[in-house]
Amino acid sequence: MRGDEQPASVRGPGIPAQVQILRFPVHDLPLPELVGLVQSWARAGRGRLHQIVTLNPEMVMAARRLPEFRATIEQADLVTADGVGIVLAARLLGRPLRGRITGVDLVEALAAAGDPELALFLLGAAPGVAERAARRLAARSPGCRIAGTWAGSPQPEESGEALARIAAARPAVLLVAYGAPAQELWIARHRRELERAGVVLAVGVGGAFDYLAGVVPRAPRPLRRLGLEWLYRLVRQPWRWRRQLALPRFAALVLREWVTQRLRG
Ligand code: UDP
């Protein structure tokens, strides 16, 4: 085993080994395995909350500045490679991953599992968007159970209402679309309440409801395969340019680590 990997037993049963990308953990597992893991969490009982983070380079750069966000990522039960930048960095640094798992892929796969134990609650996005996304998911995956939807807001004064709705709906899975890092921090700050509400998995899903509801089109598949989703998003949503400045900075850090590795031999 390489020095930068951890044995699966470190985090619990079924959790795959992790690699480190710029000192952030990333777990290497395919989507079907991840869904199986969530099903096993749900079957093990409703007393323990698990958090999944779908990591992209913008989040890495933000977490380098925000200690609370870094701690949330480090303490997550699973961190998947979301952005293609993470996958490329892993390959360059000699720790290749089997693929990426985005928030929207994860939501679709959980719905498609059609597992009655995996009732979903969709929290976040603009008013009405979560409902539309839920309707589309239910139409596409008839076995999928929707426990509830609520737009809410990451503002602390609005948490009470969202938590009360979640507690009443008792979902096994909470999908939070407040954008990173607000969604990950919201989950981490409300761990106890979510556990009491019986939530087994909470995960930040970024713009997933916008895609599912058809409010924002997803990049065409060939562009996604080429790893150019970021370019499509930049053209469709030019206000993203400032956030995307993180991408070249991330690339520079990865290159620096690559050079350091080579010099060390
Ligand atoms: N959002 C929200 N409340 C906020 C800020 C954002 O509900 O205060 C939602 C927004 O409507 C969108 C999602 O959070 O549905 C974030 O989308 P974005 O594409 O920015 O996320 P990314 O995938 O880039 O993290």
Determine if ligand 1 sits within 6 Å of the CB of residue 71. Answer: no
Residue 32 pLDDT level (bands cut at 50, 70, 90): very high
Determine if ligand 1 sits within 6 Å of the CB of residue 126. Answer: yes
Gap from CA of 177 to ligand 1 centroid (Å): 6
Give the residue whose CA is nearest to atom 18 of ligand 1.
207
Domain with 127, as residue range(s), is 8-34+44-207+219-256
- pLDDT reading at 10 higher than 60: no
Residue 138 within any structural domain of the chain = yes
Residue 3 pLDDT level (bands cut at 50, 70, 90): very low
Sequence-ordered list of residues with C-beta below 8 angstroms from that of 248, at least 6 positions apart, any chain: none
CB 122 within 8 A of CB 130: yes
Residue 119 within any structural domain of the chain = yes
Per-residue pLDDT, 8: 40
% of the chain exceeding 70 in pLDDT: 95
- pLDDT reading at 31 higher than 50: yes
Rounded distance between C-alpha atoms, residue 38 and residue 17, angstroms: 17
Per-residue pLDDT, 12: 66
Residue 177 within any structural domain of the chain = yes
Overall domain count for the chain: 1
Q: What are phi and psi of 151, to 5 degrees?
A: -70, -50
Determine if ligand 1 sits within 6 Å of the CB of residue 153. Answer: yes
78 strand-pairing partners: 52
Q: Please provide the distance, in angstroms rounded to a whole number, between the alpha carbons at the two ends of the chain.
A: 18
Q: For a substitution probing ligand 1, which of 150, 210, 211 has the most ligand atoms within 8 Å of its CB?
A: 210
% of the chain exceeding 90 in pLDDT: 80
Residue 7 pLDDT level (bands cut at 50, 70, 90): very low
Atom number, ligand 1, closest to the C-alpha of residue 179: 16
Atom number, ligand 1, closest to the C-alpha of residue 237: 19
pTM: 0.93
Per-residue pLDDT, 2: 44
Give the residue whose CA is nearest to atom 16 of ligand 1.
179
Residue 1 within any structural domain of the chain = no
CB 99 within 8 A of CB 128: no
Gap from CA of 126 to ligand 1 centroid (Å): 8
Per-residue pLDDT, 99: 84
| Ranges 9-23, 144-158, 205-219: which has the least confidence | 9-23
Gap from CA of 259 to ligand 1 centroid (Å): 35
Rounded distance between C-alpha atoms, residue 80 and residue 238, angstroms: 26
CB 86 within 8 A of CB 100: yes
- pLDDT reading at 69 higher than 60: yes
Q: What angle (nearest 5°) sits at the alpha carbon of residue 184, between those of residues 182 and 188?
A: 115
What tens digit of pLDDT does each residue of 88-111 get?
Answer: 999 999 999 988 999 999 999 999
Gap from CA of 13 to ligand 1 centroid (Å): 32
Residue 11 pLDDT level (bands cut at 50, 70, 90): low
Whole-angstrom CA distances from 78 to 33, 72, 85, 119 are: 12, 11, 18, 20
Residue 116 within any structural domain of the chain = yes
Residue 186 within any structural domain of the chain = yes
Atom number, ligand 1, closest to the C-alpha of residue 210: 15
- Average pLDDT for residues 17-37, to the nearest whole number? 93
Residue 30 within any structural domain of the chain = yes
- Average pLDDT for residues 249-264, to the nearest whole number? 95
Determine if ligand 1 sits within 6 Å of the CB of residue 180. Answer: yes
What tens digit of pLDDT does each residue of 204-215 get?
Answer: 999 999 999 999
DSSP state of 233: H
DSSP state of 9: G
Residue 214 within any structural domain of the chain = no
Whole-angstrom CA distances from 164 to 116, 143, 170, 171, 183 are: 22, 26, 10, 12, 17
